[in-house]
Chain A
Amino acid sequence: MDEKINLPIVNEEGCYEIRLESIGGLGANLCGKLLGELGASYLGLNASSFSSYGSEKRGSPVKAFIRWCAPDREIRISSPVEKPHILGLFHEALAGKLPVTAGVLEETKVVINSPESPETLRDDLKLYAGSVYAVDALKIAMESKSRVNMVMLGAIVKAAGFIPPERVYDLVRDTVGKKYPALLERNLEGVKRGYESAEEVHFSPDGRYEKVPYTEVQNRWGYKNAPYGGVNTRYGSTVSNDLSASREGYIPLFIQDRCINCGLCDSTCPDMVFQFVKGEYKGREAMVNKGLDYHHCKGCLRCVDVCPVNALVQGIEREHPDKKWFVRNKDLIVDHLEFEDAGANSWVTSDSYLEERRMDGGLV
């Protein structure tokens, strides 16, 4: 260990706290683990880290929490980070959807993976105040053949402002490099470029947006009104989930003129997106494909793969804000539906295999 690191700012528990908000598959869990290890083994601090827990899934919201404190102090708290000193947002789809900015104060440093400007992001996030670091981590990861979480790691270290970058390079060499020597250089490149590209833009509390307090989730059903035994009387109620955030940039586009109404898309879609109704095709009575309900499309593109006539093709979502073939689920009996942004109930219960696969597979 070189020189001793002193934390510039701590909360009443003596801790410096970091919260990462991400979508499963982007490696926030590993990034959190590395940040914990950075504190414990490379900065001479005491440290803890953990992720939000749940069933294994991809494309769902996930959180990671890191605490650092002086080496002689114990970390007594195991609950989630409520008021982060650093907030890392791994996916721009999180902006303005889930309450990811809860607990942000003026001294919070918000590191966001996005090509947008800090000013735009502040508005998208309705950010009360704080320092915004906008990093196009996806682009950097693609260019450096690294991964989003490595770029974010570098950016977060820069935003912290008190960490010599060599310490994080050492960490990456000793952990990622030891396990996957062949991938070391590109991952180091990702971390370095993340570090270099993180620039601070500070926003004072100017009254444009409210402070968002950290609150625990409360459902509308409680012990007085919920059906006993956990019985659920609202059949099919997942239809009110909007799963758009699960998509990774691509959507199926529907070219209705080409469609031969063969139904193969409906047979392969895991998300019941296609709306077939009784109609006429080539002058005969037939089930006809009217379009897709994108609220539930997770962008897996199975339908594109099976369509025999290219009536379904892969498109970049950003380029298609208006989709004329976007129809709502035909079976609904309500005129209005209040959607809830969702993945499923997240997150990681075990990671040894996944971590290996993701690093090896080079998913970004």
Chain B
Amino acid sequence: MERQKILFESGNELAAYAAKQINYHVMGYYPITPSTQIAEFLDLMKAEGEHDISLIAAEGEHSAAGICYGASAAGARVFNATSANGLLYALEQLPVQSGTRFPMVLNVACRTVSGPLSIKGDHSDIMYTLNTGWIILFADTPQAVYDMNLCALKIAEKVRLPVIVAFDGFFTSHQKKKCYVFEDDKTVGDFIGAYDAEYSVLDLEHPVSIGSYMNEPDTLNNKYQLHLAMEQARRVIPQVLEDYEALSGRKYPLAEGYRNEDAEVILFLLGSSYHTAKTAADRMREEGIRAGVVTLHALRPFPAKELYELCRSAVTVLAADRQDSYGAGGGNMTLELKAALKDHNSKARVLSRVYGLGGRDFYVQDALELFRQCLDGQAAAFDYLGVYPGEEDLQVQQYFAPISKEDASPGYISSRMEENGTIKVTGGRVNESTAMPKRLAPGHGACPGCGIPVNVNLLLKGIEGNVVLLFQTGCGMVVTTSYPKTAFRVPYIHNLFQNGAATLAGVVEAFRQRRKRGELPDEEITFVMVSGDGGMDIGMGSALGTALRNDHLIIFEYDNGGYMNTGYQLSYSTPKGAKSSTSHIGKEQYGKTFFHKDMPMIMAAANLPYAATAAESNPADFIKKAAKAREYASRFGTAYIKTLSACPLNWGDKPNTERRVIEAAVNCCYFPLYEIENGITTLNYDPEKRKKKIPVTDWLQLMGRTRHLAEESYSRVAEEIQTEVDRRWERLKARAEHPLL
């Protein structure tokens, strides 16, 4: 056995550690809980120069999968990690990877699939991948995550198929346990061996075409090849795992059992629950019941024979699924277990229970309950464990009356169209704006000093009358709608952040149609889509599509400069040089490597009727712009407003100072205030004319995330930021001065 050392780490940390030891060429990724830490830990190690992996933060999981695919087709060793809807967003790419036979390793920290949105662990995501042609290994401990990551790449390269290493989100991804890793990275390198891709798009001497257009006879043959590769994997995986055992002393059969040899009742479950159930089996045995437990370490290829062998003595096998294949009478493991037992003429009774969805904990008592159900001859073939009906005769108490159109029209602000087609707003004084009822109720769970509710309130102060809101995923959504409560006092809908603008466009079209047909009263509604936490990265396509169609709605972006809801990973609008959990500072890295995205100009390029920036430090200007956007959305089409939104937690500043921090961003021209009406640009606030202009470092040093940029050793980065900010500011001034720009 090779020398190993003890670490006390989580599954995510160990996946990252394995990747570091392998020293992959490329990791294309997009952060999503609970897999995000894998990229974070790799970035932290990269900052300290511990590996050379190119870590590419894509703008969404679909692109991340594309980066991985391209790199693997170019002969590189490739790594990725994702979860839940991120996996589903990338799903379309998975058969591309396997069908064209490029090996790579994807870690899936399993989590429940939306909606309604939950970030906790279950197996509803991973089961979507069963038909993708990927090998799927399942790790039940943090140790297994490490071990299987090392075996996965070797298996992948031997059979030329991509491999998923799946494990329980949180229970395995986040629990720290004592575990062993190889002391020397070379041990890992020697075990996996060198990789020489047979086909590479970079092989200029032997040019190949990857991704043919195929017709009917060939597709069938191609898929049969994939099938054969999977059958080859059935032989290769045990060999690799045996080799690994010789190296590490740790054994992973494809299917594993505990006290199952003579067991009458057996629980079959995946992941961390297997170990909990072992304890329950011991307790059942103390009562004289012959109880056992089985689990799998591979889902594809499915070890049907091994599973049958382990269940041989059982009178009853209960498959406990952490997901449901709705309408099938069980989750996917139930169905596969039934097929495996039938193929081997087993007479065992199979019960199916869905448990632990959305991260519901699995206690020893739960496993005992499942064993008891096995002993009950009358037990239902299929059921859910742990559901409850709720309180009988529960009266829903409302705390507020709905906000009527009249309530929301205090009349302190008004807008009208000028002869030149632009909109003029009058009124809108800050003191009078207090008359506007809050569409967002207090009691939400945003951090102290959070800018999101401040900015949403400022926007809504300027929008009189009826509103319907859509929030894309992000902190704004998470903190307001934590079930069974909601902060929204007006109609609200959430959709995942690839798709908010399109979803609201659908709402708007339904509104227009239904109003036209007399199904709804003849009343105006202002529709507002709210996005932030980097939602304009993954959701930019949808937002631009909406702007290009010119749908009648407002897109409001609260830009807090990072993916804050998942622990501050960099977004494309994070300032250059800022540290984040995917752009650490270290001897090899200075923070984020590229400039902040200029989203208002991108939206303006869609030639929408109204685009503007607003800041809470200029509240009257903010409110007026909201009123203007309302008028433009009502009359002409899409209006877009972007605001800079403070995040005390991740910006690393004091909550009470946030308005001054925002003011500094405006005064240093990092975030200038302007509006573009039908192509005509107006500067609303010129720090130069008001003698308020400050160097950009004066703003950066107000925040913990960028404070280092004011130090001498980072002066080059600070200068680059200043130059870019100046360039954008000068261009903006030129636009404002010239009607054709």
Contacts and interface: CB of A to CB of B under 8 A. Distances in A.
Contact of A240 (B172, B443, B475): B443
Nearest to B274: A76
Given A47-B177, A223-B387, A299-B448, 13 more contacts: A48-B176, A50-B10, A53-B170, A54-B119, A57-B479, A237-B485, A237-B486, A240-B399, A271-B446, A274-B434, A287-B434, A351-B567, A354-B649
Contacts of A276: 434-435
Interface string B430-442: 1111110110111
Contact of A337 (B37, B399, B430, B660): B399
29 contacts: A50-B10, A53-B120, A55-B475, A56-B568, A57-B479, A79-B363, A219-B484, A222-B389, A222-B391, A235-B398, A237-B487, A238-B485, A238-B487, A247-B448, A263-B431, A263-B433, A266-B434, A268-B616, A270-B446, A272-B438, A272-B453, A287-B434, A298-B449, A299-B448, A304-B656, A305-B660, A349-B33, A353-B567, A357-B652
B445 A344 contact: yes
A241 B272 CA distance: 34
Interface in B564-579: 564-569, 579
A120 interface: no
B447 A345 contact: no
A261 B363 CA distance: 55
B457 interface: yes
Contacts, number: 342
A240 B435 contact: no
B387 to A, nearest CB: 5
B449 A300 contact: yes
Interface in B275-317: 275-276, 278-279
A360 B444 CA distance: 29
Interface stretch (A97-105, A139-147, A225-233): A225-233
Contacts of B580: 353
State the 5 A-B residue pairs at the shortest beta-carbon distance, nearest first. A344-B445, A222-B390, A236-B441, A238-B443, A353-B581
A110 interface: no
A166 B120 CA distance: 38
Contacts of A357: 652, 704-705
Nearest to A50: B175
Contacts of B175: 48-50, 78
A57 B445 contact: yes
A230 B399 contact: no
A235 B489 contact: yes
A331 B454 contact: no
A40 B33 CA distance: 27
Interface string B481-523: 1111111111000000000000000000000000000000000
Interface residues of A, number: 105
A356 B171 CA distance: 24
A353 B397 CA distance: 42
Nearest to B651: A357
Contacts of A221: 390-391, 394, 484
B93 interface: no
Interface in A168-213: none
B389 A40 contact: no
B176 A33 contact: yes
Contacts of B429: 263
Interface string A245-280: 011100000000000011110111111111010100
A50 B120 CA distance: 14
A282 to B, nearest CB: 12
B656 A300 contact: yes
A64 B444 CA distance: 24
A132 B363 CA distance: 28
B51 to A, nearest CB: 16
Nearest to B391: A220
Contacts of B581: 350, 352-354
A267 B454 contact: yes
Interface of B: 6, 8, 10, 33-34, 36-37, 40-41, 44, 115-116, 119-120, 168, 170-172, 174-178, 272, 275-276, 278-279, 359, 361-364, 387-392, 394, 396-402, 429-435, 437-438, 440-454, 457-458, 461, 475, 478-490, 564-569, 579-581, 584, 616, 619, 648-650, 652, 655-660, 704-705
A80 interface: yes
B44 A36 contact: no
Given A40-B8, A238-B485, A267-B454, A243 B116 contact: no
Interface in A331-362: 331-334, 337, 342-345, 348-354, 356-357, 360-361
A136 interface: no
Contact of A344 (B176, B479, B652): B479
Contacts of A300: 448-449, 648, 655-656
Among B120, B275, B431, B457, residue most surrounded by chain A Cβ atoms (within 10 Å): B431
B619 A264 contact: yes
B431 A286 contact: yes
Interface in A289-340: 289, 293, 295-296, 298-302, 304-306, 329, 331-334, 337
A37 interface: yes
Contact of A306 (B171, B445, B655, B659): B659
Given A349-B34, A353-B567, A79 B488 contact: no
Contact of B454 (A248, A268, A274, A345): A268
A108 interface: no
B400 A331 contact: yes
Contacts of A82: 363
A221 B116 CA distance: 15
A58 interface: yes
A263 B434 contact: yes
Contacts of A51: 174
A248 B568 CA distance: 23
Contacts of B453: 270-272
B84 to A, nearest CB: 12
Given A272-B438, A333-B400, A53 B174 contact: yes
